[in-house]
Amino acid sequence: MTTSSNNHTPRRQVSNLFRGGKTMVAKEPSEVLADLPEDVQSIVLALTIVSARIETLPPADRDDLFELMMSRHKTDDEDERVGIRKAMIEILTQGRVNAKPMPLTTDRQLHPGAKSWAVHVGRKIRKLREAAGLTQIQLAGKAGLPQSHISRLENAEHTATNLTLERIAKALNVTVGDIDPCAD
């Protein structure tokens, strides 16, 4: 039996299991693989890769995969089996998601031209809102926008999209051109 250089740890461990009067010897994985027929080697390698991939799945995806595996064996409907197989492949081949925390505030500044436009639009929204006797919360409710968004627009912290300007204009009973002269 081959041993390591320190002569204390055998590279192969002899199992004390006897089958048919023979002692079973545990071989290195590469030795076992080399003894197998080529087509079986391919299957073993594929199973090794799939097994490693399953270990990296989030627990919810792993549970879904095993549930699909059980369902696949219980159905006789070929279309259902194909759908289950596709779902299993989707779970196994999905890319990893690397989420990064996003700060709630940023130090990024608007481009100077965009900033002056945002200041103008923000002032117009505030002026029209106050003239209509509305609070930011009331305007937000009528426009279907969060109050915090109205606040950020009025304070020129963000630039408004055309859709946002349309919603605000409709809520204030004015045209988009009354808020943004560039819209005319």
The model's pLDDT over 90-141, given as tens digits with 9 standing for 90+, comes to 888 877 656 666 555 555 667 777 888 889 999 999 999 999 999 999 999 9
**Per-residue pLDDT tens digits for 50-87:** 888 888 888 888 888 888 888 888 888 888 888 888 88
Q: Does 3 map to a domain? A: no
- 84 lies in the same domain as 123: no
Q: Does 166 map to a domain? A: yes
- 28 lies in the same domain as 75: yes
Spatial separation of the C-alpha atoms in residues 62 and 49, rounded to whole Å: 15
Contact in structure between 153 and 171 (CB atoms under 8 Å): no
Predicted confidence at residue 105, as pLDDT, reads: 52
**Per-residue pLDDT tens digits for 11-35:** 333 333 334 444 445 567 667 777 8
**Tally of domains in the chain:** 2
- 175 — pLDDT class (breaks 50, 70, 90): very high
Q: Does 107 map to a domain? A: no
Q: Does 98 map to a domain? A: no
For 10: left if phi > 0, alpha if psi spans -120 to 50, otherwise beta; the answer is: beta
- 41 lies in the same domain as 85: yes
**Per-residue pLDDT tens digits for 154-172:** 999 888 888 899 999 999 9
- pLDDT reading at 7 higher than 50: no
- 86 lies in the same domain as 22: yes
Predicted confidence at residue 126, as pLDDT, reads: 96
Single residue among 31, 62, 93 that ends a domain in this structure: 93
- 121 lies in the same domain as 88: no
143/53: higher pLDDT? 143
Kindly report the CATH number assigned to the domain that includes residue 132. Answer: 1.10.260.40
Q: Does 156 map to a domain? A: yes
Residue 65's domain spans which residues?
Answer: 14-93
